[in-house]
Amino acid sequence: MGLFDRKICNICGSKIGLFGNRKLQDGNLCKNCASKLSPWFSDRRSSTVDEIRAQLEYREKNQQLVNAFNITRIMGGEEGRVLLDEGAGMFMVSTGSSAKAGNPDVLKFSQITGCEVVIEEEEDEIMREVKDSEGKTTQESYNPPRFNYSYDFDVIIYVNTPYFNEMKFQINSDTVEIEGTKEGGSTPIKLDSISTKKDLVDTILKAAADTKKRNAEYLKYETMANEIKDTLLELRDKSLAEEEILNESN
Ligand SMILES: [Zn+2]
């Protein structure tokens, strides 16, 4: 009993090391067995030993699907990509260094329930240093204010599986940074149209948006993300229609 009372993994039976325990609803799981679970699975604490055992059996069968997976098309960026086996009507999401690393879950197109592109934006004002009348250095806004915008591009695929319902991954490896200034605007700013603070803010935001649209990196990842979404939804619709025809002819 006490501090040195080592727990036993309910799946493989091995002794669990200090800090190595992964608690289940009705038992314990070792680090090694936990690493074999799906990377998209997040309900471990509320899962029973039997549920985990069933998932690990599914994961072993999945490895065979990965080995047999014939990549016909790859979409996405350096960080996360979607691999298609169009002949088998299946896809997987790979976030590892090599396409098939880590036993990625192989799913049917018909298991897709939705897909979404999320572009995460962060805004930081760029300040300049000025000396006041007493010679002290302070920071102040540029006129008009300048901003550094940073963007990450995420794709969320919603799926129907017993173990997880969402696959969210980022496709870009480096955050895309864009400086937004009024010079970036494609439409010349008419100073006489700016009479209130709100006019000024609207003008700057519009200029920043125009800068964004012309930034090659931004466009590249936005196009990639939308390609994944449009292609997956199209393949899903096609395979559901085919399944319906099969069901009707039976
Ligand atoms: Zn174990």
Look at residue 175 and tell me if it is in a domain: yes
Residues 244, 194: one domain? yes
**Average pLDDT for residues 82-86, to the nearest whole number?**
98
Compute the distance from residue 10 Cα to the ligand 1 centre, in Å.
7
The count of domains in the chain is 2
pLDDT in tens, 195-206: 788 877 777 776
CB 111 within 8 A of CB 103: no
pLDDT: is 77 or 186 the higher one? Answer: 77
Instruction: Estimate the crossing angle of helix 216-249 against helix 197-214, to 10 degrees.
Output: 70
Of 8, 42, 68, the one marking the end of a domain is 68
Residues 104, 160: one domain? yes
CB 99 within 8 A of CB 71: yes
Range of the domain at 188: 69-120+152-249
pLDDT: is 8 or 132 the higher one? Answer: 8
Pick from 43, 11, 41, 4: which is nearest to 27 by CA?
A: 11
Tokens in use for 96?
């590892």
Q: Residue 186: its pLDDT value, please?
A: 38
Tokens in use for 26?
């009705």
Look at residue 55 and tell me if it is in a domain: yes
**Average pLDDT for residues 29-39, to the nearest whole number?**
96
Compute the distance from residue 28 Cα to the ligand 1 centre, in Å.
8
Find all residues with CB under 8 Å of 229, minimum gap 6, and list them: 115, 116, 117, 155
Count CA atoms within 13 Å of residue 66 on its CB side: 17
- CA torsion sign for 14, 60, 49, 23 is positive
pLDDT in tens, 97-150: 888 999 999 999 999 999 999 999 998 999 999 888 888 999 999 888 888 989
Look at residue 132 and tell me if it is in a domain: no
Find all residues with CB under 8 Å of 66, minimum gap 6, and list them: 92, 100, 103, 104, 106
Look at residue 17 and tell me if it is in a domain: no
Residues 184, 96: one domain? yes
Phi-psi region of 222 (alpha: psi -120 to 50; beta: other; left: phi over 0): alpha
Compute the distance from residue 66 Cα to the ligand 1 centre, in Å.
23
CB 72 within 8 A of CB 86: yes
- pLDDT higher than 60, residue 173: yes
Look at residue 57 and tell me if it is in a domain: yes
Compute the distance from residue 56 Cα to the ligand 1 centre, in Å.
11
pLDDT in tens, 208-232: 666 666 788 999 999 999 999 999 9
> In Å, how far from its chain's centre is CA 105?
15
Compute the distance from residue 23 Cα to the ligand 1 centre, in Å.
12
Residues 46, 100: one domain? no
Compute the distance from residue 12 Cα to the ligand 1 centre, in Å.
4
Residue 156, classed as helix, strand or coil, is strand
